Structure 1
Amino acid sequence: MPKRSMKQDDPLEDFKRREISLDGVTKAVHVAGAGPAVIVMTEMPGISPHVARFARWVRDAGFTVYMPSLFGRDGAVPGAEEGAAVFQRACVSAEFRALAANESSPVTKWLRSLARFAHQECGGPGVGAIGMCFTGNFALTMMLERSVLAPVLSQPSLPLNNPAGIEMAADEIKAVRERLERDDLTVMAYRFEGDRFCMAQRFAAYAQALGERFIGRVLPDSAANTDTAPFFSRHVNCPHSVVTAHLIDEAGQPTVAARDEILSFFVRRLTPPS
């Protein structure tokens, strides 16, 4: 994949923008690649060049990427003021439950339908899903859709006001736990040690709820990129975005190792048997 500047807006010209209608709701989805489907859900405040770069890594690993536009300006470098406004709108949107523990965001219903739709289009054993930050826990809720086989939670940050909260109802968590056991599946999750938006209490809550099926990785703060866009510099002043804004794209870096583990996880779970 050619190197692109992370400090310039990304035109996303190598993705096909599609308007996909599911459950009576239409959303723009950027699609690229071939092979089994992986849903890449953007972090706050939108599909930045870093998020698009990660989606291309997934595409180049042999998958069809479906990257829905959930908030923000697609392809934009996250500005401080614009990003803060996007965050504030999302927090009061009916689609999200930013402050509610024990309750899934309504948008996850549409995302589960997207996974089912993508599986029908792409075939293969099933679908992968990765959520980041504001959407981090969505990949776990999507396990209620049987086509989802490879969930990844990157710095899951909701609910914002409860470090030990899980953004799912108790019966949903129970159903996911039962499915993980029944189908011999695992959940991968990543955070930085000093992340103040996704703290140790949240990973402990996941481990208690999911047992050994939850595999949490904690990266040292020293592994985080410090050259970030204005939104992150002003509003996310701690190591946070493991595979996007705070990833250091150099061999041997812990964040690159995390990225490669995620890609290998998708390959292992989604590659059709020979």
Structure 2
Amino acid sequence: MADHDLSGFERTTFTHGGTTRKVLRRGTGPAVVVMAEIPGITPKVLEFAERVAAIGCTAVLPVLFGTPGRDPNPAAHGWLRSGAYTASTVAKVCVSREFTLLATGRSSPVVGWLRALAAAEHQRCGGPGVGAVGMCLTGGFALAMAVDDRLLAPVLSQPSLPLAVTARRRARIDVSAEELAVVKDRCANGGLRVLGMRFRGDRLVPGDRFAALRRELGDAFTAVELDDADANPDGLISPHSVLTEHLIDEPGQPTRDALDQVLDLFRDRLLSDRGAAAGVRSGLGVPAAEAGSPPGR
């Protein structure tokens, strides 16, 4: 692939709590917040967003790190420049106070900003609620965002925080105990469903993490766990990115089936009568202005 020029995507900004970030948007209908993996919003992340828009939703992509549209593949910029770009992005994330990489029992501070974005997008786009997809570093953010009743369809794609450097961290996800309790209650009493996906051999997303989510959320957590052999062999790293870099976009492929499950969740929860009923049960439709400033150019 090559760099994406962002054609077809509206470019805006969103401000909350004194922090302004760029936001890309495509489509119409209920909002789905798409949070990219490192090194940022790559052409393949944008392809995923285009699929979200194609089913009748608005794909909303906050720029949390990296250069939107830049292709990290060395074929696009050469090994030296591509490696330097990825390393620079990782370094900036590591020193940022917005991302909690190692600590257990708490969410990254950026999640508050993301909740406000989701609330404002629900107000803007309408519908029964909002969906969210987190990938790798941002994977667990979708779970922490689900303390807000507006979030009806959280997807955790290869959630990699906290970094699995100890046994305790391997069995945890980056959400506080208080937030997890709210999500558990929504699962038990509000019909919330949480979708997670990983490759079985992925050391960044150990099986212990998904086992813990099963224990905490019960049948409300659907785990899609793929064999490493199911990954696109052209990926530059070992099997990791289910919806983007390691997707084999062909009918019958396990990664394509995983992608279809994500889109089906959005259809069910955001576009169907069932989703509308879930929104009513959750008390959605409350003005979201207090959660953050409306996006603007």
What's the Cα RMSD here? 1.2
The Cα offsets for residues 226-263 of structure 1, whole Å up to 9 and x where unpaired, read as 213xxxx3xxx320000100001122111111101100
The Cα offsets for residues 82-132 of structure 1, whole Å up to 9 and x where unpaired, read as 112211210221000011111100000000001100000011100000000
Task: Give the structure with higher Rg (CA).
Answer: 2
Give the partner amino acid of 1:44: I
CA contact (8 A) 1:115 1:145 kept: no
Q: Using structure 1 for the length normalisation, give the TM-score.
A: 0.93
Q: 1:215 aligns with which of 205, 213, 222?
A: 222
Q: 2:199 aligns with which of 173, 177, 192?
A: 192
CA contact (8 A) 1:196 1:238 kept: no
In 1, Cα distance between equivalents of 2:160 and 2:83: 19
The answer for the alignment partner of 2:249 in structure 1 is: 249
The answer for the alignment partner of 2:31 in structure 1 is: 37
The answer for the alignment partner of 2:76 in structure 1 is: none
In 1, Cα distance between equivalents of 2:161 and 2:32: 22
Q: CA deviation at 1:179?
A: 1.4
Q: Alignment identity in percent?
A: 48
1:57 aligned to 2:60?
A: no
In 1, Cα distance between equivalents of 2:49 and 2:24: 10
SS in 2 for 1:46: coil
Q: Once superposed, which parts of structure 1, at least 4 consecutive aligned residues long, lie more than 2 Å away?
A: none
1:261 aligned to 2:261?
A: yes
The answer for the alignment partner of 2:125 in structure 1 is: 122
The answer for the alignment partner of 2:292 in structure 1 is: none
Give the partner amino acid of 2:90: F
- 5 Å matches for 1:4-23? 7-23=1-17
In 1, Cα distance between equivalents of 2:203 and 2:84: 21
In 2, Cα distance between equivalents of 1:196 and 1:8: 29
CA contact (8 A) 1:46 1:73 kept: yes
The Cα offsets for residues 4-44 of structure 1, whole Å up to 9 and x where unpaired, read as xxx20011111011011122211100001001110000011
In 2, Cα distance between equivalents of 1:30 and 1:80: 25
By relative contact order (CA 8 Å, sep 6+), the higher-ranking structure is 2
CA contact (8 A) 1:154 1:189 kept: yes
Moved more, 160-169 or 238-247: 160-169
- 5 Å matches for 1:119-268? 119-160=122-163, 161=165, 162-228=169-235, 233=236, 237-268=237-268
Structure 2 portions without partners, runs of 5+: 73-81, 277-297
In 2, Cα distance between equivalents of 1:174 and 1:258: 27
Q: CA deviation at 1:272?
A: 4.9
In 2, Cα distance between equivalents of 1:157 and 1:211: 21
Q: Using structure 2 for the length normalisation, give the TM-score.
A: 0.86
In 1, Cα distance between equivalents of 2:18 and 2:120: 14
1:108 aligned to 2:111?
A: yes
CA contact (8 A) 1:33 1:63 kept: yes
Give the partner amino acid of 2:87: A
SS in 1 for 2:144: helix
The Cα offsets for residues 41-90 of structure 1, whole Å up to 9 and x where unpaired, read as 00111001111100101010110111000001111111222112211210
